[in-house]
Structure 1
Amino acid sequence: MTNRLAHSTSPYLLQHAENPVEWWEWGDEAFAEARRRGVPVFLSVGYSSCHWCHVLAHESFEDEAVAAFMNEHFVSVKVDREERPDVDAVYMTALQAATGQGGWPMSVFLTPDQRPFYFGTYYPPKPRHGMPSFTQVLQGVAEAWRTRRDEVGEAAQQITGRLAEASGFGEAAGDGPPGAADLHTALLGLAREYDAGNGGFGGAPKFPPSMVLEFLLRHRARTGSDAALEMAEHTCAAMARGGLHDQLGGGFARYAVDATWTVPHFEKMLYDNALLLRVYTHLWRLTGDPEARRVALGAARFLMDELRTADGGFASALDADSEGGEGAFYVWTPEQLAEVLGAEDGARAAALFGVTEEGTFEHGASVLRWLGDGDADTAFLESVRGRLLTAREARPRPGRDDKVVAAWNGLAIAALAEAGALFGRPELVDAAVAAADLLVGVHLDERGRLRRTSRDGAVGASPGVLEDYGDVAEGLLTLYGVTGEAAWLSLAGALLGVVLEEFADGEGGFHDTAASAERLIVRPQDPTDNAAPSGWTAAAGALLTYAAYTGSSPHREAAERALGVVSLLAARAPRFAGWGLAVAEAALDGPREVAVVGAVGGPLHAVALAGAAPGLVVAVGEGDAEGVPLLAGRTRVGGAETAYVCRGFVCEAPTADAEALAASVGPSLG
């Protein structure tokens, strides 16, 4: 027996297709049914690699008695937050305002006109730790709906009104990008929240601060700030040595449950690994740190080996859970190491990777961390990693959410294209091209509009949101800089045209949903980063880069107006404005524009791509190349490959000298 979710393209919804709950997907039909029956809507939001989402499902949604009560008293709607980030954003804002915290699974009760009136997250099957059981919550809400309908309606009206009042950020935009003083203020704010002992910001749980690290690296490149570089280097080293980083297979888990990066929440997300691949690549570009290179290539290997789909895209995530429970695939005991490596090598590996009899995780098992120093035997380490990885492959694997999300694939395209070019790995650039081909061929409709997701080459129904357009445009612009294929620049321009037409709020900012998209109770709008760059600042960054390539004043002005909100966030919440601060660094630096009249992958092109100047823009090809205004009129000097560097409407003399070009495209400490 299956329910309506059996026809979904979402792996998360398909996980619930055999529940006895009569689930509906989000849509007009579900709310029409609630109106017809005169019952409230139970909205359950989660995602496929969410551990506690699975727990709630097993404990309650698979229970026949619980499901029967839900079916009698509610219309139950299941939403994959990764497919519908707009729905998730609206009700997560309400949940956080009502309870002071948020998270998934998210459980919200709505009136049939979509207005929320009661909120929660995970509820246990029986009361514990001061929490009511899920059944008690269902019974209480059903009773309130039956006997106090007017009070419920009034509460829903008030909550919706407060959401509408809090949803606008446009008044904070429009005043232009932050100046040098604003960015220095942001640096000081970050330093106050910096964990000098463990790296990163704040306490437990601790998430990889990918966008903040990008800002710190760009700030160092522009200003020479030792403080910015120290925070970036220390955090990157701490994450790479900790349990957050998969010491065998490469890549990073979503977050650490502690402040020391020791024990991760084991799910692995595409967006984290794409962003961190780019951060470690940029750290290597700035400093030449060989460990940053190793970690970056490990993250790239993880993307290629674990998340690449048959159609050339990249899957969303690996679950935290596998047979044996959360983390079972990744953790080790001393006995298991000895079984695989032998007693002597096993003991040595246990010391190097922090595997103890007491364990750092559950049941005496330990998460692998790197406790060795730079003098460790490289050959021994590679041998150990290879043998343990082979043994681990025999374990039951975590599940994979194989839907392709446009925004996250845009991040992966940018990261793989840069890493491939900088590390001399053409297969990574080829993978970026294949992913871009998939987005253009499957996700882009005949009107030039993006769809959010696809699976097995079939596009989903959900329209693209602002982060999809911003991140895909960013990926395509980066891909153009690496490959010199002008079609990617043109496609990015088309997507940014949709951004300006469909998402602009008229006050300098952007809405997260298109003007033509489904109307929710409020239109979400948020310039702050979450686990990935906000759509607002992702769009601003792509607009700025496109303007540098084309000389388009409207795109430059739109980017600068959108960055106005970052001036406010720089002082108040710099941890949640990392990508906006990074884009502001690019705007303040120019960004520097490099036109290489010569061959793709040639010496001058390679030097230009290795430049660490914030937001550096690189065009490559001949001066008569169509569709690339930055190359227009540029010629070879004396028949040799020639580079032109411009910054702030001022251009340097053309050069054919690689050393002179390197000095013009930003500092390198390596």
Structure 2
Amino acid sequence: MRDDTLVEWREWGPEAFAEAERAGKPLLLSLSASWCVACDEMDRTTYADPRLAGHLKDGFVPVRVDVDRHPRARERYNMGGFPSTVFCTPGGRIITGAGYMTPDGLRSAIDTVRETWDAKGAEAGRVPRALRDPDPPAGPVTADIEAHFVEQVAAAFDEEFGGWGTDAKFPLPRTVEFAAKRDTDRAARTLDAVRTHLYDTYDGGFYRYATNRNWGGELHREKLLDENAALVRAFATGYLHTGEDAYRETAEGTVEYLTNDLWTGDAFAGSQAGGDYYTMAPSARESAEPPVVDDTVYADRNGLAADALFRFGAYTDDERATRYAERATDRVLDTLVADGEVTHFDGEDAESGLLLDTARVLLGLTAGVQATGEDRYLDAARDVADSLLGLQADDGAFLDGPAEGVGLLDRPLRPLDANVEAADALLDLAALAGEDRYREAATDALGAFAGAYPRMGAEVAGYGAVCARAVYDPLVVETPPAGTDLHRAAWRVADHEKVVVPGDREEAVVVRGDHRSAPASTPDDLMARAAEARPEDVIGE
């Protein structure tokens, strides 16, 4: 929280809601993040106005919500970006909300909310539709889902500037990965645009997004660990499928940024703020203070970072990347995981058992097993997966956390993106552990959303990729121990959706469903076996 604000903020938690109930006042929730430039600006202007601070003190219970530390609050009260300014009842129901607000805008909102509160009281609040009717339409998981997203990726592609979108441009790394295997040219053109416009060639790392279709306009220059990790993986995937050195070099530069600027000593920090620093010439940056780094170690973001670095290290024989992935994974296991339950970060107000943490830590662990062959990662993955299965609802979807907490937290969500990541990790674990129950749980989670796929667009193409893995069975390569020539060759098979299973064997075997290839004793033999194991060639055997 900035020193500029004059508002007497309460922390998000039961005390603030209890105070509002006792006082008969609505709450003002200010959702912000340490990396958010607009949040700082609103603190310096709107919340530094003494009259507004006085009005808030008299008529409201003002609560500052760190959206990185409280992801479930973020998902329920987000007004489309940060800052989000939300007025709600003591029961957590939303009266009204907006994003950034000027002093005049907030003053007008305060007056309107006071009138509404005086007239209706707690009845003025509403529950968002996603929480009133959270069940997604279920359906069968079929090959048609992948085909739908192939069409969407082509139809929604910006042929002039690359990427997907007609206004702001986001990098959409999961969509890039889907396309890398199925529409390589469009994936490559998007990687080229992201590398040209969003990559910081001086300090390394990626900015968040561009406000214009042509990747220009105002760049949102914050650097978040999870978004950078996802782009490391996307560029590594691009390199795997194309052999283009520029993609490897961009991923390598981002790994360098993560392991230097965001490295806390034993894991990765959550984010680095944006700001004018990034618009300076390199010579000016040398003497300038870089934007603040939030050194909180978040389980979900470190899980994604480990997944990306394990994969990049395996594709390129970059031992440094693998070593940092191991160190971050070990830190998370030592301090944030107990009996398979994952805690969001190391702090008194940290939540445990959240879907996003559990799914992404599992992604990191399954990548670690494939890259290193370490049994400790496989044992931990089983424990974390069993905790994940405890979040699965009767309809098959994974809930975003326990149905408890203040505000609207007692109403669980079924987030598509987190369900996709959970299913992806479970499909990997099913192959690594040889346990069908993980595959069944993944398919059930995907099926919970399958009735809605005809209305889904290219931005969620990752769902189509994981559905394809469930339909066709992922390509599995059983290899000798990690580090051997056949193990390294398995990672270079041009299918980033495969599973590599190192073990105590002398030859490699390629598996898809019930099909098992003849043994391969050389890397060339292995590549030939993998080429023969296309889904259309082995389905039905």
Regarding TM over 0.5, the answer is: yes
Preserved contact between residue 569 and residue 577 of structure 1 (Cα < 8 Å): no
Preserved contact between residue 205 and residue 256 of structure 1 (Cα < 8 Å): yes
Preserved contact between residue 591 and residue 616 of structure 1 (Cα < 8 Å): yes
1:578 aligns with 2:461: yes
Of residues 135, 138, 144 in structure 1, which corresponds to 2:110?
Answer: 138
- CA deviation digits over 1:237-280, x for unaligned, max 9? 111122x1112232210001211223521111111111111111
> How many Å separate the matches in 1 of 2:453 and 2:180?
16
Give the aligned partner of residue 398 of structure 2: 510
- CA deviation digits over 1:522-548, x for unaligned, max 9? 5242443xxxxx211111111111111
Give the aligned partner of residue 166 of structure 1: 133
Query: Of the two, which has the highest radius of gyration?
Result: 1
Q: CA deviation at 1:507?
A: 0.9
1:650 aligns with 2:515: yes
The amino acid across from 1:393 in the alignment is E
The amino acid across from 2:248 in the alignment is R
Q: CA deviation at 1:655?
A: 1.9
SS in structure 2 opposite 1:112?
coil
1:664 aligns with 2:529: yes
Give the aligned partner of residue 249 of structure 1: 203
1:297 aligns with 2:252: yes
Preserved contact between residue 340 and residue 380 of structure 2 (Cα < 8 Å): no
1:497 aligns with 2:386: yes
Q: CA deviation at 1:291?
A: 1.1
The amino acid across from 2:250 in the alignment is V
> How many Å separate the matches in 2 of 1:496 and 1:141?
45
Taking a change above 3 Å as real, the CA distance of residues 233 and 163 of structure 1, as seen in their structure-2 partners, is closer
> How many Å separate the matches in 1 of 2:445 and 2:90?
36
Q: CA deviation at 1:18?
A: 7.1
Give the aligned partner of residue 142 of structure 2: 178
SS in structure 2 opposite 1:393?
helix
Range that drifts further, 261-270 or 573-582: 573-582
Give the aligned partner of residue 27 of structure 1: 13
Preserved contact between residue 404 and residue 411 of structure 2 (Cα < 8 Å): no
> How many Å separate the matches in 2 of 1:647 and 1:165?
41
SS in structure 2 opposite 1:187?
helix
Give the aligned partner of residue 465 of structure 1: 354
Preserved contact between residue 195 and residue 202 of structure 1 (Cα < 8 Å): yes
> How many Å separate the matches in 2 of 1:650 and 1:583?
20
Taking a change above 3 Å as real, the CA distance of residues 178 and 453 of structure 1, as seen in their structure-2 partners, is farther
- CA deviation digits over 1:627-652, x for unaligned, max 9? xxxxxxxx4xxxxx311221102211
Preserved contact between residue 14 and residue 406 of structure 2 (Cα < 8 Å): no
Preserved contact between residue 73 and residue 409 of structure 2 (Cα < 8 Å): no
Of residues 24, 38, 53 in structure 1, which corresponds to 2:24?
Answer: 38
> How many Å separate the matches in 2 of 1:166 and 1:315?
36
1:611 aligns with 2:493: yes
Give the aligned partner of residue 51 of structure 1: 37
Moved over 4 A (4+): 515-519
Preserved contact between residue 178 and residue 563 of structure 1 (Cα < 8 Å): no
Preserved contact between residue 268 and residue 319 of structure 1 (Cα < 8 Å): yes
Taking a change above 3 Å as real, the CA distance of residues 258 and 212 of structure 1, as seen in their structure-2 partners, is same
Give the aligned partner of residue 160 of structure 2: 197
1:90 aligns with 2:76: yes
Q: How many residues align?
A: 532
Preserved contact between residue 24 and residue 76 of structure 1 (Cα < 8 Å): yes
The amino acid across from 2:102 in the alignment is P
**% identical aligned pairs:** 31
Give the aligned partner of residue 404 of structure 1: 297
Taking a change above 3 Å as real, the CA distance of residues 523 and 516 of structure 1, as seen in their structure-2 partners, is closer
The amino acid across from 2:32 in the alignment is G
Q: CA deviation at 1:137?
A: 1.8
Map residues 333-344 of structure 1 onto 2, 5 A cutoff: none
1:111 aligns with 2:72: no
SS in structure 2 opposite 1:646?
strand
SS in structure 2 opposite 1:201?
coil
Q: CA deviation at 1:614?
A: 4.8
Aligned CA-pair RMSD: 2.2
Q: CA deviation at 1:161?
A: 7.3
> How many Å separate the matches in 1 of 2:522 and 2:409?
59
Of residues 213, 220, 224 in structure 1, which corresponds to 2:176?
Answer: 213
> How many Å separate the matches in 1 of 2:374 and 2:188?
34
Q: CA deviation at 1:616?
A: 1.2
TM-score, scaled relative to structure 1: 0.76
> How many Å separate the matches in 1 of 2:82 and 2:299?
22
Q: Which runs of 5+ in 1 are unaligned?
A: 1-14, 96-101, 127-132, 221-227, 322-326, 333-387, 529-533, 623-634, 636-640
> How many Å separate the matches in 2 of 1:217 and 1:617?
17
> How many Å separate the matches in 2 of 1:309 and 1:518?
32
1:416 aligns with 2:309: yes
- CA deviation digits over 1:113-143, x for unaligned, max 9? 11111211111123xxxxxx21222233224
The amino acid across from 1:50 in the alignment is C
Taking a change above 3 Å as real, the CA distance of residues 270 and 459 of structure 1, as seen in their structure-2 partners, is farther
Q: CA deviation at 1:600?
A: 2.0
Preserved contact between residue 508 and residue 562 of structure 1 (Cα < 8 Å): yes
- CA deviation digits over 1:370-396, x for unaligned, max 9? xxxxxxxxxxxxxxxxxx4x6523222
Q: CA deviation at 1:160?
A: 2.0
Of residues 482, 487, 496 in structure 2, which corresponds to 1:600?
Answer: 482
Preserved contact between residue 4 and residue 43 of structure 2 (Cα < 8 Å): no
Of residues 458, 462, 474 in structure 2, which corresponds to 1:591?
Answer: 474
Q: CA deviation at 1:516?
A: 6.3
Q: CA deviation at 1:566?
A: 5.1
> How many Å separate the matches in 2 of 1:166 and 1:403?
34
The amino acid across from 1:285 in the alignment is L
TM-score, scaled relative to structure 2: 0.93
Give the aligned partner of residue 232 of structure 1: 187
Map residues 410-559 of structure 1 onto 2, 5 A cutoff: 410-445=303-338, 447-454=339-346, 461-501=350-390, 503-515=391-403, 520=408, 523-528=411-416, 534-559=417-442
Preserved contact between residue 16 and residue 61 of structure 2 (Cα < 8 Å): yes
Q: CA deviation at 1:590?
A: 1.7
> How many Å separate the matches in 2 of 1:453 and 1:521?
18
SS in structure 1 opposite 2:511?
strand
The amino acid across from 2:100 in the alignment is Y
Taking a change above 3 Å as real, the CA distance of residues 56 and 666 of structure 1, as seen in their structure-2 partners, is farther
